[in-house]
Structure 1
Amino acid sequence: MPQREQLQKTLKPHWVWAIAFGSAIGWGAFVLPVDWMSMAGPLGVIIGFLIGAVLMIIIGVSYGFLVEKLPVSGGEFAYAYYGLGRYHAFFCGWFLTLGYMSIVALNASALALLGKFVLPSIIEQGYMYDIAGWHVYAGEVVIACLALVIFAILNIRGASLSGFAQFVFCLALLGGLILLTIAMIIHPASSFSNLQPLFKPEIGAISSIIAIVAIAPWAYVGFDNIPQAAEEFNFSPKKSFKIIVISLLCAGFAYTLSIIATGVGQSWMGAVEAGSVWGTGDIVRNAYGGLGIILLSFALMMGVFTGLNGFYLSTSRLLFAMGRAKILPAAFGKLHPKYKTPHIGILFTMVLTGIAPFFGREALLWVVDMSALGVTIAYFYACYVAFRLFKWSDQEVANDRSFSVVSPWRKFLSLLGVISSVAFFLLLVVPGSPGFLGKPSWIALFIWVAIGAIFFLTRFKSYRAIPKDEMDHFILGDYVDKKTPNTFTVVADMKEAD
C-alpha cells in the first residue's frame, strides 16, 4: 500500500475535554444573549439550550461508539465512508468543512467586535464601506486577521501546545463567567424580575423553545471535534463518550449562566428595543462600568480563543483526512516536516477565513444558519452509520461481518439521534418553521453547494478510480483487517479477542 501519513498521539483527556467544551462555547455565549432572548425570551433560551444539550448527548452515544471503533482523523467523514461509501463521505465532508470554517471566521469577527466596543477610537480607524448596515473599518479587519494568523501559528507548532493552551483558556473562561454571573446577580440594581416575560410574547412558550432548539446544532458544535482529534489520543478511545457528555453538560451550564448574567441586569425587552451592537456589554457596563467591561471582555476573549483554537484543529484534521484519501489535493494529506501537524490545512483555513472580516458582522451572521445546516448533515451521517452497526440480537451480528455489536438501547438511542438530526434539518429548511433560513443564508448555501459540485465533477474520475482497499487504507488505516479487504473486521478487536 502507498505510504499513509500518521498523526502523533499527544492529546491528553483533559485537553480533549477543553477542545470540545471550548469549541462549543466560543464567542456566542458572550455576544448573542440579547439576540437569543429576542427570539425566545430568557427561559425559552435556557430550556431550549438544555433540551439541545440532551439531544446532543443522545447523538453523542453514536459518536462515542464510532470514535472507540474508528479513532482516525476525519470524524464524520470517515464514518460516512465506512458505512455508506466514498461519495457520501465527500458530501458529508464538504458540508462539515463549511460548518467548521464558518465558526473560525465568526470567532475572529467576534474579537473585532470586542475591540470595536471597548476601544472604538482605535478599532474604528480607516472606514472602508457598509455591508447590511454594518460599517467595516480597516482596524477591525486587521484585528481579526491578526488573530487568525496567531492561532494558525499556534496550531502548526503542535497539538500538544494547542491542547495545553486550550485547557488554560477553558479554565479562565469558566472562572470569568462564574465570577461575572455572581457579580451581576448581587448588584443592587439587578433583579430576577427583569427576566419577565420569560418567553417571547408574540409566539408563546413552545415556539420560543423550538426556535432555540433549532440552533442547538450550531450552539453545541464542538463536541464533534473529539472524533476529529481521535487519531491523536494518547489514551483509550473508550473514554470518548464520557468526555462528550461532560463537555456538553458544561456547555449547557455556561449558556445558562450567560443568559442569567445578561437578563438580571436590565429588562431584556428594553435591551432588545435599544438595538445595541453588543447588548450584554451595555448591560454589564451600566452595572459596573469599566471594571465590568474588563471582566466581560476577558471571558469573551477566552471564548474566542477556545473557538479559534478548537476549530482550527478540527478543520485542519478534516482537511488532512480528505487530502490523505485523495479527495482533496495530496498536499492536504502531508504533515509538517518538523512539527508533524497538517500545516497545509491550517494555512488554507487561515487564508479562506481571512476573507470573512471584510464582509462585516451582519453578513457573517448569515453564515451561522448555513453552518448549522452543514453540521446537522454530519450529525445525521454519524447517527445513521451507528444505527446500522448496533444490532438488536446476536443473530443479526452473526449475519454481519462488520464491527457491529448487540446493544438494543444504544441502537434505540442512535435511532433517536437520526430522528433528532432530521428534525434539526427540517427546522432549518421548512418554510414557516421557527428556525427557517433567511434569504441571504440560502444564497450563501447555494454558492457553497455549487462550488462543491464543480469540485466533485472535476475530480470524479480520479476519485472513482482509487481501488477500494487503497481507499480503506487511506481513510481507516490500521482499523481494517488487510486479510479480508471486502469486510470490516477491526484489528483492535481481534487483538483483544486474542
Structure 2
Amino acid sequence: MERRVELEKSFKPSWIWAIALGSAIGWGCFILPTDWMAKAGPLGVIIGLILGGLIMMLIAVSYGILIEKLPVSGGEFAYAYVGFGRTHAYICGWFLTLGYISIVALNASALALLGKFVIPSITNVVFLYETNGWQVYLGEVLIASIAIILFAYFNVKGSSLSGQIQFIFCVILIAGVLLLTISMLLNPNTSLDNLKPLMKPGIPAITGILAILAIAPWAYVGFDNVPQAAEEFNFPPKKAFSLIIYSLIFAAILYSFMVIATAVANPWQQLVEGKPIWGTADVVSNTLGIAGMIMLCISLLMGVFTGLNGFYVSSSRLMFAMGRAKILPAAFGKLHPKYKTPYVGIIFTAVFCLFAPWFGRPALLWVVDMSATGVTIAYLYTCCTAYKLFKWNENGKSLDIGEENSNGLVSPLKKFICLIGIISSISFLGLLLIPSSPSSLGTPSLIALVVWSVLGLFFYLLKRKEYQQIPKETLDFYITGKTLSTGRSTSKSSRETPINIEI
C-alpha cells in the first residue's frame, strides 16, 4: 500500500469560521435584495432567509457529527463513500467539484459586474462580442482573470496565508454591512414605513416565503466548505459544529441587514417595479452619496474575495481527496514540494475558471444554478450517512466507521435530527427540480445539469474498471486514513456489498 499523503494542520478556528461565513456571503447579498423583495416583500425575504438558515443548522448537525468522526479532506465525498460505497462517492464528488469551481468563477465575474457600474471606463473597454444578451469586453475579462490568478497564487503559497486573509476580509465585510445599515437607518431621508407592506401583495405569504426558502442551499452554501478543510484543523474537530452554527447566524443577520438597508430608502414596491439593474446601489447612492457607495463597494468586494478564497480552499481539497483515492489522476493527490498545498487542484480550478469570463455572465449563471442541485445532493448524502451512524435503540445496527464501540451509538434525538436533514435536503431538491416549483431550474440550467451528468457517466465508465479493482481496505485508507472494517475479507463480495442499517 502506498504512503498516504496528508495535509498539514495549520487552520485556526477563527480562519475556519471565516471560510464558512465568507463563502456564504457573496455578491448576492449586495446585488439581489430587490430581486428577492419582488418575490416576497421585505419581511417575506427575511423570514425565508432566517427559516433557511435554521434548516441549514439542522443539516449542519450531520456535518458536525461526521467532521468529528472523519476529520479528513474530501468532506461529503468521504461521507458518501463511508455510507454508500465508492460509486456514490464518485457521484457526490463529481457534482460537488463542478459546484465549487463554478462558484469561484461566478465570484470572479462579479468583480467585472461591479466594474461595469463603478468604473465602466476601465471595465467596458475593447468590445469583443455579445453572447446570451451580454456584451463581453476585454476589460472585464482581464479584471476577472487577474482575480482568479491572484487568489490561486495566495492558495498555492500556503494555507496560513489564505486563512489569514480570509479572516481579515470577513472582519471588514461585517463592519461594512453594519456601518452601511446603521447609516441608512439613521439618515433623515429614510423611514421604516418604506418597508410596508411587509409581504408581497397579491400572493399568499407562504408562497413568497417558500420562493425565498428555496434559495437557502445557494444562499448559505459555504458552511459545507468546513469539512473540506477538516484534515488541516489545528484544533479538536468537534469544535467545527459550533463554528458552522456561528457562521450561519452571522450570514442570516448580514442578509437581513442588507434587505433592510435597501428597503428603507424608498417604498420598496416602487423600487422593484422599476426593475433596476442594481437597486441597492441606486438607493445607497441617492441616500448616502459617494461615501455610501464606497461602503457598499468595499463590502461587496470583501464578499467576493472571501467567496473566491473559500471555494478555492474547498475545490482544491476535494480534488486532492479524490486524487488520493485514485478517482482523479494521481497528480491531484500531490502536495507542493515547498508550500505543502494541493497545488494541482488549485491550478486546475484557476485554468478552468479563466475560460468563464469569455462566455458571458448569463451562461455562467445557468451553470451555477445547476450546481445548486449538486450541493443539495451533497447535503443529502451527508445527512443519510449521519443517519446510518446512529440507532433508535439497542436492537438496531449502526454504521461501522472503524471505531470501537460503534455499535453503541444509540441516540434517537441525533438520528431524528439527521432524518429532518434528509427530509429538508429532499425538499430542496424538489423545489429545484419539480417544474411547478416557484424556484425550479430554468431550461438552460436543466440542460447544463444533463450535460454534466452525461459527462460524469462517461468518465466513470472510462475509469470504472481501475476504480473497482482497488481493494476496499486500500480505498478505506486512502479516503479516511483508516481501515473501516478491520478483519473483514478483501474478497469482491466483501468489497462491493454496501453497509445496511436495520431499525
TM-score (norm 1): 0.95
Name whichever of 472-481 and 454-463 sits farther off.
472-481
Is contact 1:228–1:318 with CA below 8 Å preserved after alignment? Answer: yes
Structure 1: 4+ residue segments shifted above 3 A:
397-404, 478-488
**Residue 456 of structure 1: CA displacement?**
0.9
Q: Cα 1:432–1:317, aligned 2, differ >3 Å: closer, same or farther?
A: same
2:50 maps to 1:53: no
Take 1:172 and 1:12, find their aligned partners in 2: how far apart are those partners? 19
- Percent of aligned positions that are identical: 59
Where in structure 2 are the equivalents of 1:382-421 lying within 5 Å? 382-396=382-396, 403=406, 405-421=409-425
Is contact 2:400–2:485 with CA below 8 Å preserved after alignment? Answer: no
Is contact 1:22–1:170 with CA below 8 Å preserved after alignment? Answer: yes
Is contact 2:390–2:399 with CA below 8 Å preserved after alignment? Answer: no
Name whichever of 376-385 and 279-288 sits farther off.
279-288
Counterpart for residue 126 of structure 1: 126
Take 1:313 and 1:398, find their aligned partners in 2: how far apart are those partners? 32
1:396 aligned counterpart, secondary structure: coil
Number of residue pairs aligned between Structure 1 and Structure 2: 488
User: What amino acid is the match of 1:465?
Assistant: Q
Q: Cα 1:269–1:458, aligned 2, differ >3 Å: closer, same or farther?
A: same
For the aligned residue pairs, the C-alpha RMSD in angstroms reads: 1.7
Counterpart for residue 154 of structure 1: 154
Q: Which runs of 5+ in 2 are unaligned?
A: 496-503
Is contact 1:74–1:321 with CA below 8 Å preserved after alignment? Answer: yes
Where in structure 2 are the equivalents of 1:16-165 lying within 5 Å? 16-165=16-165
Counterpart for residue 267 of structure 2: 267
Is contact 1:397–1:406 with CA below 8 Å preserved after alignment? Answer: no
Counterpart for residue 258 of structure 1: 258
Take 2:398 and 2:375, find their aligned partners in 1: how far apart are those partners? 34
Counterpart for residue 444 of structure 1: 448
Q: What's the CA shift string for 1:169-212, capped at 9, x where partnerless?
A: 10000000000000111112212222223223343310101011
Counterpart for residue 498 of structure 2: none
Take 1:120 and 1:339, find their aligned partners in 2: how far apart are those partners? 38
Take 1:252 and 1:127, find their aligned partners in 2: how far apart are those partners? 39
Is contact 1:169–1:302 with CA below 8 Å preserved after alignment? Answer: yes
1:135 aligned counterpart, secondary structure: strand
Q: Which runs of 5+ in 1 are unaligned?
A: 489-498
**Residue 281 of structure 1: CA displacement?**
1.0
Q: What's the CA shift string for 1:135-186, capped at 9, x where partnerless?
A: 2211111101110000000001111110111111100000000000001111
User: What amino acid is the match of 1:63?
Assistant: Y
**Residue 100 of structure 1: CA displacement?**
1.0
2:423 maps to 1:426: no
1:128 aligned counterpart, secondary structure: strand
Q: What's the CA shift string for 1:100-138, capped at 9, x where partnerless?
A: 112111111111111111111111101122233222211
User: What amino acid is the match of 2:195?
Assistant: L
Take 1:399 and 1:308, find their aligned partners in 2: how far apart are those partners? 36
Take 1:423 and 1:329, find their aligned partners in 2: how far apart are those partners? 35
Q: Cα 1:399–1:447, aligned 2, differ >3 Å: closer, same or farther?
A: closer
Is contact 2:390–2:398 with CA below 8 Å preserved after alignment? Answer: no
Counterpart for residue 296 of structure 1: 296
Counterpart for residue 327 of structure 1: 327
1:136 aligned counterpart, secondary structure: strand
- Equivalent of 1:470, from 467, 471, 474? 474
Is contact 2:333–2:342 with CA below 8 Å preserved after alignment? Answer: yes
